[in-house]
Amino acid sequence: MVPLHGYLVVSALLFVIGVTGVLVRRNAIVILMCIELMLNAANLSFVAFSRELQNLSGQIFVFFVMVVAAAEVTVGLAIIVTLYRNWKTIHVDEIRMLKG
Amino acid sequence: MDSAWLIPAFPFAGFVLNGLWGRRLSRKQVGMVACGAMALAFATALGLFWLLLRHSPDQRVWEPVYYTWMAVGDFSVNASFLLDPLTMVMVLVVTGVGFLIHIYSTGYMHDDPGYARYFAYLNLFACAMLILVLAGNLLVLFVGWEGVGLCSYLLIGFWYEKQSASDAGKKAFIVNRIGDFGFLLAIFLTFWTFGTLDFREIFHAALLRFQPGDGVVTAITLLLFVGAVGKSAQLPLYVWLPDAMEGPTPVSALIHAATMVTAGVYMVARCSVLYALAPLSMGVVAAVGCATAVFAATIGLVQNDIKRVLAYSTVSQLGYMFLGCGVGAYVAGIFHLMTHAFFKALLFLGAGSVIHALGGEQDIRRMGGLRRQLPVTFWTFLAASLAISGIVPFAGFFSKDEILFETLVTGHGVLYVLALGGAALTAFYMFRLVFRTFLGESHVDPESAHHVHEAPLSMAVPLMVLAVLSLVGGWVQVPMLENGKRLGRFLAPVFEDAEGLLTEGTAHGSHASLWTEGVFMALSVVVALAGIGLAYRWYVADPTRPERVAARFSRAYRWLLNKYYVDELYQAVVVELLKRLAETVHEWVDRAAIDAVVDGAGAFFRHAGTHLRRIQTGLVQHYALSILAGACLLILAALAV
Amino acid sequence: MELFLFVIFSLLTVGSAAAVVWHPHPVKSALFLILSFFSMGGLYLLLQAEFIALMQVLVYAGAVMVLFLFVIMLLNLKPRGEDRTAFKVRIRWAGPLALLFVGGVLTAMTGALARVAPAGAQGPEWVVAQGGNIRALGRLLFTRGLLPFEVTSILLLVAVVGVMVLAKKERR
């Protein structure tokens, strides 16, 4: 049986990739994808701990995270569509009206 | 008795109605509301008076307490009234004369655009004055005191688009403030000394704890008198009253003759017990009163503005009232207050009628010969002039003579002589006014001469009622007769303690003989007649004479005409000095210190902002980076611990 | 065997995730993300979380990613030739920073991880006794988790309404 730490390392790596993506990519859709990566990293940890602690609550939690993520993606994509309609771009470095 | 609150409540309701909805009401409705409120107040006052008379004299004191106004630790003040004969007299005068003046105003102010505002102020004033006289403790009295001051300011500056009117309003307010400062100090000192502000408790405690001449009581009474000097326009704070003539004439009648300026006299009479314990203060009151009486009378001799002459005569007559209170003749002081309210209101209303008829002309040099055109005004004005000059059997005779006589029998010979001379001056300047206005040749501007018309009924009726009162008003206190002094008996329970203190130990508490009294009464009348006679000789028989006299004593004449240059003196000494001080403070404290700090703070943040705003790039990823950096710092901190 | 599958799935997951960030073309990024999600589903299977694995494939790799692809196609985004040198510079400091953060979290957790012990009563035997993972989860979800479950329906409703408001063209 693969130990808990194996899964945690995979989860950590996924999270690092997600954070890096959010910081380095300029395309809003890709940034949204990277956020999904981070959420999935958390999910993986949940499931791994669920098995380790022999408690199904972790999996139920993952279920809710998925619901929230689905809602978040739809709203996020709708915002991106609206952004594109107004600015003709979804590159976040070109959308910077709120600057001092 | 608990219904005493209704008396000020009616005018207040009138104020609210006219103040809030006056613009939507017709003039007739506004007048009905205002006069109706005063009529109801007067009716209530009469009802209470009747109830009061049904009690035996020693039980004629009611003290309705409505609620605890404030309670802080040991300090507690009730919203309470004090109803005794003295209050009753004042309430009747205020509501009665006030009612007549309200009616008169409906005619006088008929074409004024600020009709509703005027009546709202007038009702508010009546409310404040009634609170003042009904007050059961010093703080409630102070509320009324400040209320009348405010209304006075509002009404003097009623025609605020006129520079002189708004200046006069400000002057009245500021000069009154000086007096109020003393009054406020007196309240503090009273509380510190007695631990209460309730009149009856103060007097009770004062009688128990203090001997006559005690320093604290002297200080309190002197400070109270500072307040009275401001409100009642005595030397040296009288300067606001002549300028207050900028307001509408009925306002002058109501506020600056009949009621508000008498607040100081009322307050001194109310605190008679304290004054009786402070002989020094009594002396000051008497001296200031007498000096004012003569001083103002001399200025009144040469003024040419009809209202200004009356204003100085008001100052002078108030001086007589204080003289009466100062020599311990409180009844005489209040008596004169009452009769003065009648005839001075009448004089002002008569003057208003003349001004109204002449289309705003106030200079007596451009009047004359108005007797035929304004018969009602003439006869009523004449009645008032006879009353103020002190001719038997008009009201002023009885009251003024009582003050003079009491001054003499209490041993103030010098003051008596001065006051008698003042009476002669009073008769002279009043009849100068009568003669120049109503008799002799007409100097009326031909333009307005044929517009001259007698006052409408709404103005004439109050004049006639007041004329009757000026005649019979003195008969409630007739000397030398058995049972003649009805007012004195009515007021006796109020002044009992003070008079007990004053007569204690002095031998001459007994009465002077009837014969002496008669001689001095005759002397007063003779002096007054002499003044009238002189006025007749100068202004009717030989109209060129005054100019010759003025030319001969030109220096004295100029001093009088310029009112002894008191305004100029105040301007030079007080106002300029304060201005200089304010400028210095402005320069060094405001500009150099405070502004520097404030501006510096502003500049700091502005500079900080210009640099810090670069942090806000508008790039979401920068913000995300900051979040991550912050999270890293937190983790590192958690690891370090 | 299990370790072998774990390594395969882990490498696929992490590798395709890295490709998502790396690849300049959004459509290809999305495809790599689908691959990543599929292999993560494999990891869930290895963890005996069959239901979650199913959801991962149906919801994430299916519905969500279709939505992503749909939007990308809708906007017809082409790779803009993002400045790759600038991208590489950014990745040079953003990557280590993220690593520092996650490493820090893991380090902070090491103490807690050492104390992790299988204390729960819902071990594999219990799950089997319940009639399998899906049945056990369903039972839990509709008893203890009923209220949150119903609340999520409100959340979804809000999301639906919100999306409609956002995507509606403004009437002029």
- Asked if C48 and A51 come within 8 Å (Cβ–Cβ), the reply is yes
C70 and C144 together in one domain: no
Q: Which helix (H) or strand (E) holds C73?
A: helix C65-75
- Asked if B615 and A93 come within 8 Å (Cβ–Cβ), the reply is no
Q: End of a domain among C58, C79, C100?
A: C79
Give B629's contacts in chain C (Cβ within 8 Å): 97
Q: Residue B507's pLDDT is what?
A: 47
Answer whether residue C123 is part of any domain: no
Answer whether residue A51 is part of any domain: yes
Query: Which residue of C94, C97, C107 is in closest CB contact with B632?
Result: C97
Answer whether residue A9 is part of any domain: yes
- Asked if A99 and B625 come within 8 Å (Cβ–Cβ), the reply is no
> For B266-284, what is the mean pLDDT?
90
Answer whether residue C93 is part of any domain: no
Q: End of a domain among C55, C79, C103?
A: C79
Give B630's contacts in chain A (Cβ within 8 Å): none
Q: What are phi and psi of B477, to 5 degrees?
A: -145, 75
Tens of pLDDT along B347-367? 999 998 888 888 778 888 888
Residue window 61-80, chain C: list those with CB within 8 Å of chain A.
63-64, 67-68, 71-72, 74-75, 77, 80
Q: Residue B544's pLDDT is what?
A: 77
Q: Residue B548's pLDDT is what?
A: 79
Q: Residue A37's pLDDT is what?
A: 93
Q: Residue B436's pLDDT is what?
A: 85
Domain count across chain C: 2
The residue with greater pLDDT, B381 or B393, is B381
Q: How far is the CA of B489 from the CAs of B266, B408, B495, C150, in angstroms?
A: 18, 22, 10, 91
Residue A43 pLDDT greater than 90, yes or no: yes
Are B581 and B588 in contact by the 8 Å Cβ rule? The answer is no
ipTM: 0.91
Domain of residue C157 covers 132-172
Confidence of residue B635 (pLDDT cuts 50, 70, 90): confident
For C47-60, letters b (16+ CB in 10 Å) and e give bebbbbbebbbebb
Q: Cis (ω within 30 of 0) for the bond into C118?
A: no
Q: End of a domain among C56, C79, C102?
A: C79
Give A30's contacts in chain B (Cβ within 8 Å): none
Residue type at B122 in one-letter notation: L
Residue of B nearest to C101 (CA): B632
Q: Residue B509's pLDDT is what?
A: 46
Give residue for tokens 């979800």: C141
Residue B514 pLDDT greater than 80, yes or no: no
Domain of residue A65 covers 4-87
Give A100's contacts in chain B (Cβ within 8 Å): 612-618
Are B452 and B358 in contact by the 8 Å Cβ rule? The answer is yes
Chains that touch A (3 or more CB pairs under 8 A): B, C
> For B591-611, what is the mean pLDDT?
90
d(CA B120, CA B112): 14
Q: Residue B1's pLDDT is what?
A: 59
**Looking at residue A27, which CATH number applies to its domain?**
1.10.287.3510
Residue window 21-50, chain C: list those with CB within 8 Å of chain A.
21, 26, 29-30, 33, 36-37, 40, 43-44, 46-49
Answer whether residue A93 is part of any domain: no
Q: Would you give per-residue pLDDT tens digits along chain C (172 residues)?
A: 889 999 999 999 999 999 999 888 888 999 999 999 999 999 999 998 999 999 999 988 888 999 999 998 888 876 666 567 778 888 888 888 888 888 888 887 777 777 777 667 777 888 888 888 888 899 888 998 899 999 999 999 999 999 988 877 766 5
Query: Which residue of C67, C118, C160 is in closest CB contact with A52?
Result: C118
Give B632's contacts in chain C (Cβ within 8 Å): 97, 100-101, 104
> Distance from A1 to chain B by nearest Cα, in Å?
31
Residue type at B559 in one-letter notation: W
Which string of DSSP letters, residue by residue, matches chain A?
---HHHHHHHHHHHHHHHHHHHHH--BHHHHHHHHHHHHHHHHHHHHHHHHHHT-THHHHHHHHHHHHHHHHHHHHHHHHHHHHHHHS--BTTT---S--
Q: Residue A3's pLDDT is what?
A: 86
Answer whether residue C89 is part of any domain: no
- Asked if A8 and C13 come within 8 Å (Cβ–Cβ), the reply is no
- Asked if C30 and A33 come within 8 Å (Cβ–Cβ), the reply is yes
Are B132 and B141 in contact by the 8 Å Cβ rule? The answer is yes
Tens of pLDDT along B396-406? 888 888 888 88
d(CA B396, CA B399): 5
> Distance from A98 to chain C by nearest Cα, in Å?
20
Q: Residue B504's pLDDT is what?
A: 67
Domain count across chain A: 1
Tens of pLDDT along B140-176? 999 999 999 899 899 998 988 888 888 888 888 888 8
Answer whether residue C96 is part of any domain: no
Of the candidates B310, B543, B304, B360, the one whose C-alpha atom is nearest the C-alpha of residue B442 is B543
Query: Which residue of B628, B636, B638 is in closest CB contact with C97?
Result: B628
For B67-105, letters b (16+ CB in 10 Å) and e give eeeeeeeeeebbbbbbbbbbbbbbbbbbbbbbbbbbbbb
Answer whether residue C91 is part of any domain: no
Tens of pLDDT along B521-539? 888 888 888 888 888 888 8
- What is the longest distance spanned by two Cα atoms in chain C? 64
Q: Residue C128's pLDDT is what?
A: 84
Query: Which residue of B613, B621, B628 is in closest CB contact with A100?
Result: B613
**Residues facing B297 on adjacent strands:** none
